[in-house]
Amino acid sequence: TPIADARRAAVLRQLNAMDRPELKGALTDFCAAPAWIDRVAAARPFTSIDSVFAAADAANASVPADDWLEAFRHHPRIGERAAQRLQSYAAHDSSSREQARVQDDASAIAALAEANRAYEERFGHIFIVCASGRTASEMLAMLRDRTNNDPKTELALAASEQQKITRLRLERLLR
């Protein structure tokens, strides 16, 4: 097993060496917002792990609403395993890991499904939350609470949660 610094250096070299289509495909596993992908890809070459995080954070600031909605389509609903858009194995594995505590609570799955339907009916997109470490009952409470938001506020909250998911996935790769 390579030492952490050598592994991180190898990941940076790989990100910098990928051709643009390959990099865009890889970045989709972290955040599938097209504007985010384009801005992060344009920030190469990455000189450090921090430069990757800086590029990701800077790209978040200028993602339009439609691009956030596209990113959301790459996530499964809370309590489910399949996303609307096809996920790579790595993205599917990340989603499964992040929602691991949900799958342990069979009684909450039906309640989540019903709350997900109500949320989607109100906002037109799936409920996005950084699920890592959260229980099904915690996320169900958040989902129900956020259903009371106005659409503009909710989109901003969902985008913020997408950014947390992106950061968590990047940290898993780069730290």
Q: Tell me the DSSP string of 94-163.
A: HHHHHTHHHHT-HHHHHHHHHHHHHHHHHHSS------TT--HHHHHHHHHHHTTS-HHHHHHHHHHHHH
Q: What is the pTM of this model?
A: 0.88
- Verify whether residue 74 is a known catalytic residue: no
Q: What is the pLDDT along the chain (175 residues), one digit of tens a residue?
A: 569 999 999 999 999 999 999 999 999 999 999 999 999 999 999 999 999 999 999 999 999 999 999 999 999 998 887 777 667 667 756 766 777 566 666 778 889 999 999 999 999 999 999 999 888 889 999 999 999 999 999 999 999 999 999 999 999 999 8
**What gap in Å lies between CA 15 and CA 101, rounded to an integer?**
31
